[in-house]
Chains A and B, each alone.
Chain A
Amino acid sequence: MGLLTVLKKLKQKEKEIRLLILGLDNAGKTTILKRINGEDISSISPTLGFNIKTLAYNGYKLNIWDVGGQKSIRSYWRNYFEQTDGLVWVVDSADRPDRFADCKLELHGLLTEERLSGASLLIFANKQDLPGALSSEEIAELLDLKTIQTHHWQIVGCSAVTGENLLKGMDWVVTDISKRIYMLD
């Protein structure tokens, strides 16, 4: 194996990004995934287990893992942590108020995980199309995002149904990841 081989491998590796989509159940994770993959979103049932999608994006190859968010499953999330470059946290902005505490707790719990320590964090404040939806600023406040210092983060208000701002969020997370050239492996 010589330098030319290393470069070839590295080039392929640098072009592959692994994203993990998490969030409470019913937040819209699967809908977002299907939406950005250009699939039909009219009949999505709750995720039993997990989904993996591979898609090309701006010259990168994204491997996106979407895991169910029911309470009973959450403790299995860490099955999926390895080599995660970016974490996409999806919030139902029109959720019942009592669920935001849960949401905050789960998110901050994840951020202490060693194996997610290098990952960029994108928060999708989803379902902005719904009348009662909180703004992304309000969500940031509720989730206490400003205290996050361990990860690069960004919050984007979006709607999986209209597609609004999904691209903006994806753009940010991919760009942020691609800027990292040191590998924390």
Chain B
Amino acid sequence: MLTGKASELPMADERGKLPGGDSYVDDDCGPSSFFVQADEMNELLGRLLPKIELLHARLKEYLCANTPTPWTPPQITNEEDREFDKSRQILDIYQEQPHLLDPHLERLVQPTMQHLREVMATLYENEGDGRGALVEQCMVTFRPFMGFLYHLTKVRGHKTIIKFFPHEVADMEPVLFCLESITHKANDPEFWEGRYVLLLWLSLLSMIPFDLQTVDSGTETGGTPLVERILNLGKTYLYAVSKEYEGAALLLMRVITRKDTAGTYLSDFVTWAAAEVHASRDVFKQRGMLLALCTIYKGGRRELLLPTLDHVLPCCNLVEEPFAQNNALLRKLLIKLTQRAGLTFMKPRAAKWRYDRGNRSLESNLGGTSALAPVNDICDTEDDDDDIDVPESMDTIVGILLNGLRDKDTIVRWSSAKGIGRIMNRLPHDLGQDIVQSIISLLEEDVLPGPGGQGYDLSQVSDSTWHGSCLALAELARRGLLLPLRLEEVVPWILLALKFDQRRGAHSIGAHVRDAACYVCWSFARAYAAEIIQPFVDALAKALVVVSLCDREVNIRRAASAAFQENVGRQGLFPHGIDIVTAADYFAVGNRTSSFLEIAVSIARFPEYHSHICDHVANVSLVHWDPNVRELAASTLAKLTPINTTYMSQTVLPALITRTTSDELAVRHGSLLAIGEICLAWYAAAIRPSDTGKLNGTVPWRAQENSGIVTSLSAVIATYPARYLDGFGGELTRFGCCKLIARLAEAQWPESVGSEFIKSSWKIAITSLAAREESVQVAAAAAVGSLNSLHHMDDSTLRLLIGGLSPEKDKHRRRGYALALGDLMGFVLSTNATAIIKGLTAAVAVHPDKALNDAESRRNAVQSLSMVCTHLDSQLPMAISPDMFETIREALFNGLQDYSTDSRGDVGSWVRQACMRAFQSIVMLLTNPALDEVRTAYLPEQAKVTFIGELCKQSVEKIDRMREVAGQTLLFLLWEVPGFEFEGMALLRERLPRNAEMSWSSAAESYPTMIPLLTIPQFRIQMLSGLVVSIGGLSESLVRHSSTSFVQFVNNLPDMSSPSSSDMTLGDLFDALLQVFRQYHRQDRVSMCILETLDLLFGCGAIARCGDAALYETLFTLVKQEVFKSKDVKKLLAGIKVFCGFVSLSAENGPAVAAIRQRALSQLVMYLAHPYPKVRRAVAEQLYLALASNTEDQFGDDDMEADDDVVGDDEAASAEDILLSTDWDLPVSQLKDTRDRLKILVLG
């Protein structure tokens, strides 16, 4: 009866969970909530374990044999190796939630261990000279099993796994024997997992409650006592480079803290190890020794260890030594040892003076659930503080730990903080208070008075020290060691730490400090009774709320949210706690945008939090180093404005206005953004219809009390110095200005304040159009649009913009101007529509000079064309004639043919995409009933069909994104636009039903659906021209999916139509293909792909099936022309494949076909002397294959008459020989003869 299985207690009842922080660690946050692969894992083990049985059988056979015969332990096969890999991969899934494995651990560990121990027992029974070698041999088979066990310890922790190891007395000696037998190879990297597992096992066995001497079978024979053998092993492995040192430390602790061994071995070992730490400068040695000491002081009995402390205390001081300063792990171990030394000095107790909240769990607060109470209350008979004897060394220990709080490495600070918490519990009150004071002093270090003597300036403090100090305070608070008296002093620091953020160049640091501050707040919630925390609730609640919603980092938002939730759960004091916990939970605060814009805004509706949230967003988020956070903050302020316009306009806004002239870019940028947002929101709130439906009516700018704001704000832009706009960060400032201008214009900013505002705004907006950053251009264009609505653009500016579109102008300017023209509306647009459209349509055209081409300009021009139409709306017929409109359609159609590429790839796709969108908006525009009369004039039937055909084409092209846009546009036009009809629509609708749930970007899904659309004659040519590009493309999966669907489609096409039906035939397909081929003749982007498509069609037999000599003739000529004198190897190779396709045609089909076949052969033979060796090699190979398959056909068909064939058997055979045996890499001059010979053989 060894160990038990984890099972649900059969009689267990259901009980509620403890509240507080539940969702933060809930099991369901991860991939699954239980061990999904349990059965799979069992099966895996079931397949693997017989290997050990086999080993055991062979071993026994060997041992029983009278004459020694060589034996081999079974090897692990590759297949088994893969199964072991698989088992590790499964376990790795649970790395984050390893407790899910718990109910299955027994089944994972015990069978394996059982198998291992049986073999080990056999090995041990037969112990004798040279039998150690047997162990070594068995290890080969053991290895992956031990690796599996190790992996379990890695995922779930050795403490948990070890509980399932066997631990009978009888196991002790076999395990020890086996480990000893492989120890001469202690550094063999092959088997460290096994050694680690055996060490762990031995450490568990060393817990048996019997005198080890009685277990030791070697005592009588005078061998080394068992204890010493274990000790030696432990010492050896303490030095190990791999994880064995951890197992060894555990083993040593177990074996020398036993009742029967401690007296003899403990003190000696500690002395020895301490000396080693001092003497050695070998990191591995020190690491092992220190870990062993830490483990011993943790697990051993205090009374026994107390006398040894003198030896280890000097070690603790080593933390300052240079060798330790370079090694965080050593420092961490030294800190741990210091902590353990401190704990050994002092008797365990809970500090009498600590703060005790009384009813400490919510469960009992809520009325308790247990039927039984303890019979007694603990009555402390402990000594009073005065009687506590604190050794002098404690000063040193505490000093080292306090210093560890400032360590540069997080792990060291954590260890120090924990150490301080644990030790302080055992110290008297006064000493405890001194330590708290010291921690507070650490926070005060390097704090400067804030600007103007207000608050503090934390720019000089060490973030590490603040992190460590907060951790320590949290650890103390949790344990009730931070007395309520201290809170008044500590809380203000924690409030600062919650928002700790130190600027470092372009970014900032401090997230770890904020996280630790959240930990402190969380600990407060657990430690104190409500009345203690009451005075600080207000400040803490506000700070936690803003951090949980407005911190940049998701883990900090979540940490703050956890702390807030804990406070609400345990204290119930935080205002609107439940509402906030519901709105701002772990998952909700995961998304930054919605945390700011939705949750923070909704919580700001609670008056208690309103001003704090506004202030934080305006003063912290708005000046954040990350421009995205600043933008988010500005948008948030807009949404906060209507909640309390007075606060926003009278308190926040004036402060922001003064910040617009800050020399700090971030401050300037943020304030410009925010001011515009706030003003527009303020305006909107003021004129919003009241509940009675009447306009509130008072535009704030007219109110006397706001004249100060209006005046100063009007002046901001006008007085902006050039260095702000054109110096460092100028683009960002311009972005801010443009946003501000746009918002103010939208808010009907008064012109009367002086033309200065209008003039300067126009100037900045127009000059910013030429910015290099696209986002700035977009903002500038929007500003132009809004300004134009407030105050018409003058003629010269308009001419400037239109003129600036021409190709020789700077490309940034062209882009920006094109955008701006699309944002114009109203009078200026309707009176100048023709000029604007002319400019824009010209800008869509691809310029013959590549250097002048700019895809973004073209894309913007397309967008703007559609915007112009949309803005004109029902005025369209007045502003633009149908002829003018035709030029727009042409521009869009041309844009759809834009396949320009540059170093960034297919940049034309941006234009094509914009054109598709533009077509959709034009269609939408024309649904306007006011345009009923003119609809057909502006969008004739043929135009619709052409555009739909283009959409079909784009929907089968190679870029996923394009297929998606095209497909969605198609679906939209087919189903969502009332009254929109065109030829072929019904057939399209059949294929693309409404709500067709299709992933257009997935090639596997879209091609099978789209390719059958080829049957619709209206769109066939266009679709085919798109499809061939995918079929002949480069990306493997795209080619595969498109060709498979295409071949399938082609194979189902009938040879010829029955007279009764108009169904598409194979001939129709080839007609279309020829058309496409002609259309794209010598346009490599498409024509090369057509060659590939032809190859595919030869391959699937479609061309042979068609049997139309005239078609062959045309096709052959086109192909020949296509590759004529081409220098493109890729194209030549594609052409060669097609020629070979022609060769594969059967001459049986008549003299015309035979003639074409002959011409193809001659073409191929010609290529055998091509200047490129690669071409020669390819053609030789292809030709060989073509000839060989022809010969095969002959043999396969007895009736075939050899005379009919162009090449006779013998000739073919020798031709094949030559093709194969010639080295086609030789210079062409040396190949000419061979080629000529072949010519005769092949062509006769």
Q: How many angstroms between the C-alpha atoms of A34 and B4 in the bound complex?
A: 8
Give the shortest distance, in Å, between A179 (CB) and chain B (any CB): 5
Q: How many angstroms between the C-alpha atoms of A118 and B348 in the bound complex?
A: 9
| One of B161-169, B847-855, B1178-1186, B1215-1223 at the interface | B161-169
With A3-B559, A4-B559, A7-B25: A49-B371 Cβ-Cβ less than 8 Å: no
The proximity string for B residues 406-447 relative to A, scoring 1 for CB distances below 8 Å and 0 otherwise, is 000011001000000010010000000000000000000000
- Interface assignment of B378: CB less than 8 Å from any CB of chain A: yes
| One of B6-14, B908-916, B944-952 at the interface | B6-14
Give the shortest distance, in Å, between B511 (CB) and chain A (any CB): 8
Residues on B with beta carbons closer than 8 Å to the beta carbon of A178: 18, 361, 363
- Interface assignment of B360: CB less than 8 Å from any CB of chain A: yes
Q: How many angstroms between the C-alpha atoms of A146 and B378 in the bound complex?
A: 12
CB <8 Å contact, B348 and A114:
yes
Give the shortest distance, in Å, between B784 (CB) and chain A (any CB): 47
Residues on B with beta carbons closer than 8 Å to the beta carbon of A26: none
CB <8 Å contact, A12 and B99:
yes
Residues on B with beta carbons closer than 8 Å to the beta carbon of A183: 479
- Interface assignment of A185: CB less than 8 Å from any CB of chain B: yes
Residues on B with beta carbons closer than 8 Å to the beta carbon of A73: 209-210
The proximity string for A residues 147-167 relative to B, scoring 1 for CB distances below 8 Å and 0 otherwise, is 011111111100000010011
Give the shortest distance, in Å, between B329 (CB) and chain A (any CB): 15
CB <8 Å contact, A181 and B102:
no
Give the shortest distance, in Å, between B161 (CB) and chain A (any CB): 11
CB <8 Å contact, B480 and A150:
no
| One of A57-65, A87-95, A99-107, A124-132 at the interface | A57-65
CB <8 Å contact, A175 and B370:
yes
- Interface assignment of B485: CB less than 8 Å from any CB of chain A: no
Q: How many angstroms between the C-alpha atoms of A183 and B526 in the bound complex?
A: 12
- Interface assignment of B583: CB less than 8 Å from any CB of chain A: no
Residues on B with beta carbons closer than 8 Å to the beta carbon of A117: 348-349
Nearest-neighbor residue (CB-CB) of B559 within chain A: A3
Chain A positions 33-55 with a Cβ under 8 Å from a chain B Cβ = 33-34, 36-39, 44-45, 47-55
CB <8 Å contact, A37 and B4:
yes
Chain B positions 208-224 with a Cβ under 8 Å from a chain A Cβ = 208-210
Chain B positions 5-55 with a Cβ under 8 Å from a chain A Cβ = 5-15, 17-18, 21, 24-25
CB <8 Å contact, A114 and B4:
no
Nearest-neighbor residue (CB-CB) of A171 within chain B: B370
Give the shortest distance, in Å, between A133 (CB) and chain B (any CB): 20
CB <8 Å contact, B376 and A148:
yes
Residues on A with beta carbons closer than 8 Å to the beta carbon of B208: 49-50
Q: How many angstroms between the C-alpha atoms of A89 and B470 in the bound complex?
A: 42
- Interface assignment of B858: CB less than 8 Å from any CB of chain A: no
Give the shortest distance, in Å, between A41 (CB) and chain B (any CB): 11
Contact of A182 among B8, B360, B370 (CB under 8 A): B360
CB <8 Å contact, B9 and A4:
no
Which of B208, B210, B301, B376 has the largest count of A CB atoms less than 10 A from its CB? B376
Residues on B with beta carbons closer than 8 Å to the beta carbon of A163: 11
Residues on A with beta carbons closer than 8 Å to the beta carbon of B480: 182
CB <8 Å contact, A153 and B375:
yes
Nearest-neighbor residue (CB-CB) of A68 within chain B: B209
- Interface assignment of B207: CB less than 8 Å from any CB of chain A: yes
CB <8 Å contact, B207 and A50:
yes
Give the shortest distance, in Å, between A180 (CB) and chain B (any CB): 7
- Interface assignment of A120: CB less than 8 Å from any CB of chain B: yes
Residues on B with beta carbons closer than 8 Å to the beta carbon of A185: 422
Give the shortest distance, in Å, between B304 (CB) and chain A (any CB): 11
CB <8 Å contact, B379 and A53:
no
Give the shortest distance, in Å, between A84 (CB) and chain B (any CB): 12
Contact of A49 among B11, B209, B414, B422 (CB under 8 A): B209
Q: How many angstroms between the C-alpha atoms of A2 and B954 in the bound complex?
A: 50
Q: How many angstroms between the C-alpha atoms of A18 and B878 in the bound complex?
A: 87
Q: How many angstroms between the C-alpha atoms of A153 and B372 in the bound complex?
A: 11
- Interface assignment of B1150: CB less than 8 Å from any CB of chain A: no
Q: How many angstroms between the C-alpha atoms of A179 and B373 in the bound complex?
A: 11
CB <8 Å contact, A2 and B559:
yes
The interface size of chain A toward B, counting residues with CB under 8 Å, comes to 80
Q: How many angstroms between the C-alpha atoms of A114 and B344 in the bound complex?
A: 11
The interface size of chain B toward A, counting residues with CB under 8 Å, comes to 81
Residues on B with beta carbons closer than 8 Å to the beta carbon of A54: 3-6, 102, 105-106, 160, 163
Give the shortest distance, in Å, between A98 (CB) and chain B (any CB): 24
Residues on B with beta carbons closer than 8 Å to the beta carbon of A33: 4
Nearest-neighbor residue (CB-CB) of A43 within chain B: B1
- Interface assignment of A168: CB less than 8 Å from any CB of chain B: yes
Q: How many angstroms between the C-alpha atoms of A77 and B209 in the bound complex?
A: 7
- Interface assignment of B861: CB less than 8 Å from any CB of chain A: no
Give the shortest distance, in Å, between A88 (CB) and chain B (any CB): 14
Q: How many angstroms between the C-alpha atoms of A145 and B374 in the bound complex?
A: 12
With A38-B9, A76-B209: A7-B410 Cβ-Cβ less than 8 Å: no
Q: How many angstroms between the C-alpha atoms of A61 and B526 in the bound complex?
A: 22
Residues on A with beta carbons closer than 8 Å to the beta carbon of B210: 49, 72-73, 76
Q: How many angstroms between the C-alpha atoms of A38 and B9 in the bound complex?
A: 7
Contact of A56 among B8, B21, B257 (CB under 8 A): B8
With A49-B210, A51-B2, A179-B363: A58-B12 Cβ-Cβ less than 8 Å: yes
Q: How many angstroms between the C-alpha atoms of A67 and B167 in the bound complex?
A: 12
Contact of A37 among B7, B298, B370, B526 (CB under 8 A): B7
Residues on A with beta carbons closer than 8 Å to the beta carbon of B298: 82
Q: How many angstroms between the C-alpha atoms of A59 and B15 in the bound complex?
A: 8
Contact of B410 among A1, A51, A79 (CB under 8 A): A1
- Interface assignment of B668: CB less than 8 Å from any CB of chain A: no
- Interface assignment of B350: CB less than 8 Å from any CB of chain A: yes
Give the shortest distance, in Å, between B1068 (CB) and chain A (any CB): 64
Chain B positions 449-501 with a Cβ under 8 Å from a chain A Cβ = 478-480
Residues on B with beta carbons closer than 8 Å to the beta carbon of A148: 376
Contact of A115 among B11, B258, B348 (CB under 8 A): B348
Which of B12, B18, B350 has the largest count of A CB atoms less than 10 A from its CB? B12
With A148-B376, A184-B350: A80-B207 Cβ-Cβ less than 8 Å: yes
- Interface assignment of B515: CB less than 8 Å from any CB of chain A: yes
Residues on B with beta carbons closer than 8 Å to the beta carbon of A52: 3-4, 163, 167
Residues on A with beta carbons closer than 8 Å to the beta carbon of B99: 12, 15, 61
CB <8 Å contact, A150 and B4:
no
- Interface assignment of B1035: CB less than 8 Å from any CB of chain A: no
The proximity string for B residues 103-138 relative to A, scoring 1 for CB distances below 8 Å and 0 otherwise, is 101100000000000000000000000000000000
CB <8 Å contact, B375 and A49:
no
Residues on B with beta carbons closer than 8 Å to the beta carbon of A108: none
With A8-B25, A79-B207, A168-B372: A48-B169 Cβ-Cβ less than 8 Å: yes
Contact of B374 among A152, A167, A170 (CB under 8 A): A152
- Interface assignment of B381: CB less than 8 Å from any CB of chain A: yes
Residues on B with beta carbons closer than 8 Å to the beta carbon of A167: 9, 11-12
Chain B positions 356-377 with a Cβ under 8 Å from a chain A Cβ = 360-361, 363-364, 369-376
Give the shortest distance, in Å, between B159 (CB) and chain A (any CB): 9
Give the shortest distance, in Å, between B529 (CB) and chain A (any CB): 13
Residues on B with beta carbons closer than 8 Å to the beta carbon of A12: 25, 99
- Interface assignment of B562: CB less than 8 Å from any CB of chain A: yes
Nearest-neighbor residue (CB-CB) of B520 within chain A: A3
CB <8 Å contact, A172 and B559:
no
Nearest-neighbor residue (CB-CB) of B11 within chain A: A167
With A73-B210, A154-B374: A182-B478 Cβ-Cβ less than 8 Å: yes
Give the shortest distance, in Å, between B1174 (CB) and chain A (any CB): 58
CB <8 Å contact, A53 and B3:
yes
- Interface assignment of B347: CB less than 8 Å from any CB of chain A: yes
Q: How many angstroms between the C-alpha atoms of A152 and B522 in the bound complex?
A: 28
Give the shortest distance, in Å, between B776 (CB) and chain A (any CB): 37
Residues on A with beta carbons closer than 8 Å to the beta carbon of B235: none
With A3-B559, A114-B347: A171-B371 Cβ-Cβ less than 8 Å: yes
16 A-B residue contacts at CB 8 Å?
Answer: A1-B410, A2-B555, A3-B518, A12-B99, A38-B7, A38-B9, A52-B163, A54-B102, A64-B4, A150-B378, A152-B378, A154-B372, A176-B374, A178-B363, A182-B360, A185-B422
Listed from nearest, the 3 A-B pairs whose CB atoms lie closest are A53-B4, A76-B209, A152-B374
